[in-house]
Structure 1
Amino acid sequence: MGKKYIAQSLVQKLKKSNYLIATIESCTGGLVANLITDITGSSQVFWGGRVVYDNNAKIALGVDPSIIDTHGAVSYETARSLAEKGLAELQKHSMIKGDNDYNDPKHFICVATTGLAEQDPDKNLEGGVCWIGIASSNINMTFVERVNASPLLTREETKLEFAKKALKFVEKNI
């Protein structure tokens, strides 16, 4: 399935279900947001996104530093916190009325990615690993999933694979 089809399908489902989405991305570096905004009409469902590549950027978003210290930036716990902090930011700021293209969404959802596209032998870290977190306003749970990419993929291919899996994970959970 091509990236355009995956994003188109998600945007249609977001519209139909009256969702507004935000992205918080580390390892995907903005690719999830890019895939969504490549679709005509995505401004009706896409609020915005952040790239929080550095740990200090994650902390500035609101992730407790002890989560990163204890579990690492590439972890279930960090993905969960990123998604929840992103959802809180989306809900807070989207309530400000103004000129926007979306029509009073009933639901808010945030997808977050944190991972490692390549192996880092200096830090003994496994590459090709991504944690995807999804927090939604209409449920009291945050879903987190670990995905792995083939070690045969390039860095760019790995990032794209993670971004496509994030889109599929969101669509599965709305």
Structure 2
Amino acid sequence: MGTINLANNLFQKLLQLNYLITTIESCTGGLIANLITDISGSSQVFWGGRVVYDNKAKIALGVDPSIIESYGVVSYETARSMAENGLLELQRSYMNNNNDKHFICVATTGLAERSHENNGNKEGGVCWIGVASSNKDTILVEKIDASALLSRKETKLEFAKRAIELVEKHL
């Protein structure tokens, strides 16, 4: 399915189920937010998003530095924490509003590009996606490996498309 159709389907489902979404993006650099906000009327379902590219930005969001130290920034644990903290931020913003909205957060952390250095320290083309929702106790976290044949831009788009699919799956 094309990217535009994926985003449109997600938009319709969020609207139908009365969800508000936030995005916390690292390796996708705001691409998920862009795909959602390209849709007319997206303000009905999109609260806002953050690009937390630097580790300090992830920590400012609420990711415990010990998670990054112990597991690495490109990890299940970091993606989970980013999704949890993004959801909490969204929920806090609506704490005093009496409404019937549900909330969901999608977070991405990874490396869009394989290292061209021969040091072997960086595993590229990998993304961890976390999805947390106010309606579910479980947080969905999935690792995505992109094809080595894709460019950096194509890899980011693959990660963003999969993130949209996972949000829809989590609903």
TM-score (norm 1): 0.93
Q: Distance in 2 between matches of 1:105 and 1:90?
A: 14
CA RMSD of aligned residues (A): 1.4
For the residue of structure 2 that corresponds to 1:9, the secondary structure is helix
Q: CA deviation at 1:111?
A: 0.2
Q: CA deviation at 1:88?
A: 0.1
Q: CA deviation at 1:47?
A: 0.1
In structure 2, list runs of 5 or more residues that go unmatched.
none
- Structure 1 partner of 2:131: 134
- Which one of 113, 118, 129 corresponds to residue 113 of structure 2? 118
The one-letter code matched in structure 2 to 1:110 is C
Task: List aligned pairs for 1:26-105, cutoff 5 A.
Answer: 26-95=26-95, 104-105=99-100
Distance 1:118-1:6 versus aligned 2 partners, 3 A rule? same
Distance 1:73-1:64 versus aligned 2 partners, 3 A rule? same
Q: CA deviation at 1:106?
A: 2.6
Q: Distance in 2 between matches of 1:53 and 1:3?
A: 23
Q: Distance in 1 between matches of 2:24 and 2:8?
A: 20
Does residue 22 of structure 1 match 2:22? yes
The one-letter code matched in structure 2 to 1:93 is S
Aligned residue pair count: 169
Q: CA deviation at 1:126?
A: 1.2
Q: Distance in 2 between matches of 1:82 and 1:67?
A: 11
Moved more, 87-96 or 108-117: 87-96
Deviations 1:66-87 (A, max 9, x none): 0000100000000000000000
Does residue 162 of structure 1 match 2:170? no
Q: CA deviation at 1:24?
A: 0.2
Asked if structure 2 preserves the Cα contact closer than 8 Å seen for 1:130 and 1:147, the reply is: yes
In structure 1, list runs of 5 or more residues that go unmatched.
98-102
- The runs of 4+ residues in structure 1 deviating greater than 2 Å are 94-97, 103-106, 120-123
TM-score (norm 2): 0.95
Q: Distance in 2 between matches of 1:54 and 1:105?
A: 34
Q: CA deviation at 1:94?
A: 2.9
